[in-house]
Structure 1
Amino acid sequence: MKTNKNRSIEKVTQPGTPHFVGDGFRVHNFIPGTSTMQRMDPFIMLDYNSKYHFPATDKPKGVGVHPHRGFETVTIAYKGRVEHNDSAGGGGVIGEGDVQWMTAASGVLHKEFHETEWSKTGGEFQMVQLWVNLPAKDKMSAPKYQAISNSEITKITLPDHAGVVEVIAGDYKGHNGAASTFSPIHMYNVKLKKGAKTTLAFPSNYTTALLMVEGDTIVNDTTKVPQDHFVMFSNDGESFTVEAINDAVILVLSGEPINEPIAAQGPFVMNTQEELVEAFQDFNTGKFGYLEE
Structure 2
Amino acid sequence: MPAVTADTVQLPRLAEPALGAVDRPVRKIITAPSGFEGEGFPVRRAFSGVRLTDLDPFIHMDQMGAVDYGPGEPKGTPWHPHRGFETVTYMIDGIFQHQDSHGGGGLITDGATQWMTAGAGILHIETPPEELVVRGGLFHGVQLWVNLPAQDKFTPPRYQNLEAGQVVLAASPDGGALIRVIAGDVAGHQGPGSTHTPISVVHATVSPGATVGVPWNPGFNALVYVLGGRGTVGPAATAIEGGQLAVLGAGDLVTLAADDRQDSVTPALEVLVLGGRPIREHVEAYGPFVMNTRAELAQAVADYQAGRLGVIPANALMPHRV
TM over 0.5: same fold? yes
- TM-score, normalised to structure 2, is 0.85
Q: Distance in 1 between matches of 2:239 and 2:41?
A: 28
Greater shift, 239-248 or 145-154, is seen at 239-248
Q: Distance in 2 between matches of 1:222 and 1:2?
A: 20
- Give the secondary-structure state (helix, strand or coil) at the position aligned to 1:242: strand
- Give the secondary-structure state (helix, strand or coil) at the position aligned to 2:151: helix
Counterpart code for 2:200 = H
Query: Between Structure 1 and Structure 2, how many residues are aligned?
Result: 289
The answer as to 2:60 corresponding to 1:45 is yes
Q: Where in structure 2 are the equivalents of 1:49-64 lying within 5 Å?
A: 49-57=64-72, 61-64=75-78
Structure 2, gaps ≥5 residues long: 1-17, 263-267
Q: In the alignment, what sits opposite 2:277?
A: 256
Greater shift, 44-53 or 103-112, is seen at 44-53
Q: How far is the alpha carbon of 1:204 from its aligned partner?
A: 4.0
Q: Where in structure 2 are the equivalents of 1:129-148 lying within 5 Å?
A: 129-148=143-162
Counterpart code for 2:241 = P
User: Is the 1:218–1:224 Cα contact (8 Å) retained in structure 2?
Assistant: yes
Q: How far is the alpha carbon of 1:2 from its aligned partner?
A: 9.4
Residue-by-residue CA offset, 1:147-193 (whole Å, 9 max, x unaligned) = 11110111112222212211100011111111001121010111222
Q: Distance in 2 between matches of 1:94 and 1:253?
A: 21
Q: In the alignment, what sits opposite 2:240?
A: 225
Q: In the alignment, what sits opposite 1:199?
A: 213
Q: Distance in 2 between matches of 1:260 and 1:91?
A: 31
More strand by share: 1
Q: Distance in 2 between matches of 1:38 and 1:243?
A: 27
- TM-score, normalised to structure 1, is 0.93
10, 18, 33: which is aligned to 2:27? Answer: 10
Structure 1, gaps ≥5 residues long: none
Q: In the alignment, what sits opposite 2:100?
A: 86
Q: In the alignment, what sits opposite 2:300?
A: 279
User: Is the 1:68–1:268 Cα contact (8 Å) retained in structure 2?
Assistant: yes
Q: How far is the alpha carbon of 1:47 from its aligned partner?
A: 1.1
269, 272, 276: which is aligned to 2:290? Answer: 269
User: Is the 2:289–2:297 Cα contact (8 Å) retained in structure 1?
Assistant: yes
Q: Distance in 2 between matches of 1:179 and 1:24?
A: 29
Q: Distance in 2 between matches of 1:12 and 1:124?
A: 28
RMSD of aligned Cα (Å): 1.8
Q: Distance in 1 between matches of 2:269 and 2:46?
A: 20
